Structure 1
């Protein structure tokens, strides 16, 4: 299997997970659920150090202009997120009145309730939170740009090497097994597919919107960077498929980083932009939340207050920055806005969470793939502003 590229391995894992899940006994599902629990807890543990180890030396290598590019990257990510939300709002407002009939909604359970539990779990608490890692990376990285190169910067460069060894030696080889376990449990539980069947029309529309968002993002990136947008999008496909399985932007960072470098982004800039955007760029998630919240309102017979909903989109873009890059993190973070701004009841919020989790991976896949487009833009705009050293090979393996 190691001779097969990552993209085919993930595809095989998804297919096998669905096929085996149709007949597998509960004990087999629980075996892989146990592995997934251990590996998932390890991912939660390693993600904050991964962010710190990649972003800090990348900022230091970018030099004294790094602070400016932090702001520019954040602005591009926020603009992309807002565009996705507004696009979804306009399309859904035009189509939903013809697609959905106002009326009562049947109660739909949370898909996670149907999943089998592991035999045992081992808690591996992270040393600090994702947001702490992000802010700490900014503070230390910018401080290093103001100091002569010394032991501390060299220490972070060596720490980055350690993180890259963990990525190549542990995370990427075990990702297909992890994804197999996820789809095995989902198929065995069955309820997640009931939720999908309930909203099949909305789901197809949301998928089309995420594809349209990616085409726009890579067209803009291609024009700015002077590269073929379709070729760049094809290069990012392994990250897209990996995110389909993990449903986590943070867990997909190693693959996203590798494919961004393969797309021609300089290594230090990719190491800076990709982990940052994994936390603050959630355009695909915003498309999903906006679309499904409108669907719930239409199905419930609740009138849509357009100025209020536009304000909700702008606030949602800011709230998404605080969303952890873990499965379901975006909808959990947005639940407060759904209640406070749109007046969603507790059952409506529960329905939103259930539906979102059922197809969480498509929004996440759009998020991480779009990170590659932002990396291309920042790489082009930065030009020769920074004394960026040449990459010493691909830090996370060869492209799939």
Structure 2
């Protein structure tokens, strides 16, 4: 049996190697150290440029078929389920914003005097520049995705939808076989730069703080969801959470909502929700209910902004959270699908640079399995709410 290191394991190894090499190289030879840092800065420039090129295609590939496929459901139940799922996702994002802005500035603000991303960028400049302009802007891609997605749903498209579904499969292949395998190398280069400039200690301390805060927020969100579901169904919330626990632990291993659907569906039926509702909503929620991922994205992005000395305001974040709930629709069943779908929003709405996006991806990927587990476990609670609401 082959031993295979998962993506999170590879990222952790990449960070550890980057920190070790970044501390060791200057002691060996300063000129050689600078050459190695510039080499990986060149790789990061190429990878970042390719990622920026692919982002609009990711948005179209995910959102257009995702919206069109929603139109296949039975009208009333689909509408109610979508409202509950979206409301849960948005509530999770707002809760994460409130907690993160109350806690993180007390630790990050006093510890970080300069922009981490700026310091890393200045330390290692690429050997050359290569422009990879995207075929369209982020907002253009969003508008095209909405236009075609809603249009295909309204006419019940049988010709264009298969084309968009195949396009989505192509984009998923690009993510699975190009972007995801190269991510550890990209993150290695970023952390090598930060170690070389002496910023890595600040970043790792922030990583640890944000990691703990997010896990607590995930558990708090599940508690809120099952308290509401228990009140609506007149069942013990602790019993409901215990019933859905197998789905949580399965998702920790698979890192995919789609791959966990069979377990989530089986456990959701055991909560007492009707089979008709669970059979329809659980597969649907695997693509549209992302409360755990939203908590992770909002918390991590606030951490990255504060690390780089940038302001955080609710006026900017509310539109970002509202768009997240839509942009992550039908994010692929691969690790990191949600953050890949959100990269465009991070750049266009929050002003993230390439170095900040790399930090964000590293921070998010460390949490990905926990966010996915929270997503699928929360699906059971939302299914109970929809079941009780439709009965009334």
Q: Give the TM-score band, short-chain normalised.
A: 0.5 to 0.7
Structure that is richer in helix per residue: 2
- Report how many residues are paired: 261
Map of 1:279 onto structure 2: 287
CA shift for structure 1 position 305: 3.2
RMSD across aligned positions (CA): 3.8
Map of 2:251 onto structure 1: 243
> Counterparts of 2:85 and 2:237 in 1: how far apart (Å)?
18
CA shift for structure 1 position 325: 3.7
CA shift for structure 1 position 314: 1.2
Question: Which runs of structure 2 are paired with 1:1-400 in the superposition (5 Å)?
Answer: 66-100=74-108, 101-102=111-112, 103-105=114-116, 199-383=207-391
- TM-score normalized with structure 1 length: 0.58
Deviates more, 1:311-320 or 1:227-236: 311-320
CA contact (8 A) 2:297 2:339 kept: yes
CA shift for structure 1 position 216: 0.5
Structure 1 residue runs of 4+, over 6 Å off? 194-197
CA contact (8 A) 1:322 1:333 kept: no
Deviations 1:28-74 (A, max 9, x none): xxxxxxxxxxxxxxxxxxxxxxxxxxx99x96xxxxxx311101100
Q: Which runs of 5+ in 1 are unaligned?
A: 1-13, 23-54, 60-65, 109-130, 141-185, 385-400
SS in 1 for 2:350: coil
SS in 2 for 1:236: helix
> Counterparts of 1:81 and 1:383 in 2: how far apart (Å)?
23
> Counterparts of 2:306 and 2:316 in 1: how far apart (Å)?
16
CA contact (8 A) 1:285 1:363 kept: yes
Deviations 1:350-388 (A, max 9, x none): 11111111220010000000000011111112228xxxx
CA shift for structure 1 position 271: 1.0
SS in 1 for 2:312: coil
> Counterparts of 1:89 and 1:282 in 2: how far apart (Å)?
15
Q: Which runs of 5+ in 2 are unaligned?
A: 14-68, 122-147, 158-183, 190-199
CA contact (8 A) 1:88 1:287 kept: yes
> Counterparts of 1:368 and 1:322 in 2: how far apart (Å)?
14
